[in-house]
Amino acid sequence: MNTADLGLPVDVPSTALFTDQYELTMLRAALKAGTAERRSVFEVFTRRLPNGRRYGVVAGTGRVLDAVENFRFDNGVLGFLRERDIVDEETLEWLADYRFGGDIWGYPEGEVYFPGSPIMRVEGTFAECVLLETVILSILNHDSAIAAAASRMASAAGDRPLIEMGARRTHELAAVAAARAAYVGGFATTSDLAAGFRYGIPTVGTSAHAFTLLHDRERDAFQAQVETLGRGTTLLVDTYDVAEAVRTAVEVAGPELGAVRIDSGDLLLVAHRVRQQLDELGATNTKIIVTSDLDEYAIASLAAAPVDAYGVGTQLVTGSGHPTSSMVYKLVARAESADPKAPLMPVAKKSSGGKTSIGGRKWAARRLDADGVAEAEVVGTGPVPAELADRQLLVQLVKGGEVVAREPLDIPRDRHIAARANLPLSATQLSRGEPVIPTEYVTGRSGS
């Protein structure tokens, strides 16, 4: 079943108002000036990675494709624009028939990126492309930030699985997107049922402290859970005394107890004590899951602890301190006239303060060293050097307005694992540092 086609409550009828007003006022002015139909190229990129990050992770591409398909100005939306006098009747008539009919290229979801990488390239008329700026940036900036944090956590966790459990720490719809991005970045499961329903992500969950507190005795709570969910369930053992709870848990469930969860205290110390106690009680196969406001640094500090899985919430859904990827959407080339055959000319903003950009329609490739490890992100205009022809990163996502690259979520998840493994080993270091490979620019004829 393709859950993207279910029309679930987490969707909206139209994404057309997920935008800033100036996109529409620019459209209005361009229509009046006769420049709206000029062929244009916009690119999404970031000038820098968040402080200390070694690489970025592309996430949200699939959601962008959904948003482009649903970018429609229905009667309700048009009525709102008319009532607020945001645009004139001529512009409203144009919007009523809006369908993106251009092309979109981009790094495939799950791929890594670096400063200057043309993460997404949107081509079409100025009018149809400029309207997509805000919604594309909204999705990519959020999802890529979550995926980057998830990737760092997955690297720190090694082979131990990660559970996404941050729904209660963010907006209810952002939580669904965050769970999706976390899965791309390496998480194994989510507690958010909407994410499981919408995207097919495996879901998990058993009980909270409230369930234990509901009962007269901790034993009664454990007994009720085991009788309902089976001996393989996970029992929360830190409501009162951890040692006593572990003893009771094994007495109730037997050595077949699936797991215990620890949500407070010195996790390193407690995990060692619980492991020793479980083994002494014969529950040698019972796993230990730890939660309690973890981030990648806390996960790394538990590498030597007898922990089997981690549950992460707040730090994940807030990007572990970096909730945005600082991506921008800039016009890099446009035609001199509305003639579809008019050649493209590069354009670029020139300003002080580090906000300059490089004009021209760009390609990107990742150069490898003799051992097959990435050594540079090469971004250029004009012809692609022959030695990089088979290392190009951009793939076509939309052709003539039709999505051509929708894929199951497991594919970008696997792609990210492969892409991260192809980077230098220092990419997984949590210490602050520069991007793990440099970005090199090759300037040539911009092409059309």
Q: pLDDT per residue over 329-354, tens digit each?
A: 999 999 999 998 999 999 998 876 66
Whether 9 is in a domain gets the answer: no
For residue 448, tell me if it sits in a domain: no
- Residue 214 located in a structural domain: yes
Q: Domain holding 212: CATH number?
A: 3.20.20.70
Does 244 lie in the same domain as 179? Answer: yes
- Residue 203 belongs to a domain: yes
Per residue in 182-195, pLDDT (tens digit) is 999 999 999 999 99
pLDDT single digits (tens) 201-260: 999 999 999 999 999 999 999 999 999 999 999 999 999 999 999 999 999 999 999 999
Residues 129 and 251 in one domain: no
* 5 domain residue, yes or no: no
Same domain, 182 and 313: yes
- pLDDT, tens digit (0-9, with 9 covering 90-100), for 13-28: 689 999 999 999 999 9
Q: Quickly count: other Cβ atoms within 10 Å of residue 33's Cβ.
A: 9
Mapped onto helix, strand or coil, the DSSP state of residue 183 is: helix
The domain that holds 381 is classified in CATH as 3.20.140.10
Instruction: Point out the domain boundary residue: 271, 297, 320.
Output: 320
Same domain, 24 and 161: no
Residue 447 predicted with pLDDT over 80 = no
CA distance 352 to 158: 43
Judged by phi (left if over 0) then psi (alpha if -120 to 50, else beta), residue 2 lies in beta
**400 contacts 100 by C-beta, under 8 angstroms:** no
- The pLDDT score that the predictor gives to residue 351 is 72
User: Where are the extended beta strands (E) located within 237-373?
Assistant: 259-262, 287-290, 309-312, 327-335, 344-346, 362-368
Count: domains in the chain: 2
- 152 assigned to some structural domain: no
Give yes or no: residues 286 and 189 share one domain: yes
Does one domain contain both 438 and 327? Answer: yes
Domain boundary among 268, 286, 320: 320
Residues 6+ apart with CB under 8 A from 424: 373, 374, 375, 436, 437
Tokens describing residue 231: 């001996």
> In 158-214, where does DSSP find H-type helix?
172-185, 193-199, 209-214
pLDDT computed for residue 289 by the predictor: 98
* Residue 52 in domain: yes
Please tell me whether residues 101 and 187 are part of one structural domain. no
Rounded CA-CA distance 3/251 in Å is: 42
Give me the pLDDT at residue 2, please.
45
Check whether residue 300 and residue 229 sit in a common domain: yes
Instruction: Determine the angle formed by the axes of helices 21-33 and 89-96, rounding to 10 degrees.
Output: 100
pTM of the shown model: 0.94
Residue range(s) defining the domain that contains residue 358: 14-146+322-442
Q: Domain check: are 39 and 141 in the same one?
A: yes
Q: Are residues 216 and 128 in the same domain?
A: no
* Residue 210 to residue 213: CA distance in whole angstroms: 5
Last residue of a domain, one of 288, 320, 352: 320
State yes or no: pLDDT of 154 exceeds 60. yes
Nearest C-alpha neighbor of 315 from the set 170, 129, 106, 137:
170
* Closest listed residue to residue 367, CA positions, set 359, 358, 378, 357: 378
Burial code of 86-114, b = ≥16 C-beta within 10 A, e = fewer?
ebeeebbebbeeeebebbbbbbbbbbbbb
Q: Which of 315 and 356 is assigned the larger pLDDT?
A: 315
Q: Assess whether pLDDT exceeds 60 at residue 7.
A: no
Angle in degrees, CA 270, 273, 277, rounded to 5: 135
Could you tell me if residue 237 is inside a domain? yes
Angle (CA) 148-423-201 rounded to 5° is 40
**Could you report the per-residue pLDDT of 31-86, keeping only the tens digit for each?**
999 999 999 999 999 999 999 899 999 999 999 999 999 999 999 999 999 999 99
- Sheet of 395-399: strands edge to edge? 344-346, 327-335, 39-46, 120-125, 103-106, 395-399, 402-403
For residue 317, the one-letter residue type is V
φ and ψ at residue 184, rounded to 5 degrees? -60, -40
Q: Are residues 56 and 137 in the same domain?
A: yes
Q: Looking at the structure, do residues 290 and 425 belong to the same domain, yes or no? A: no
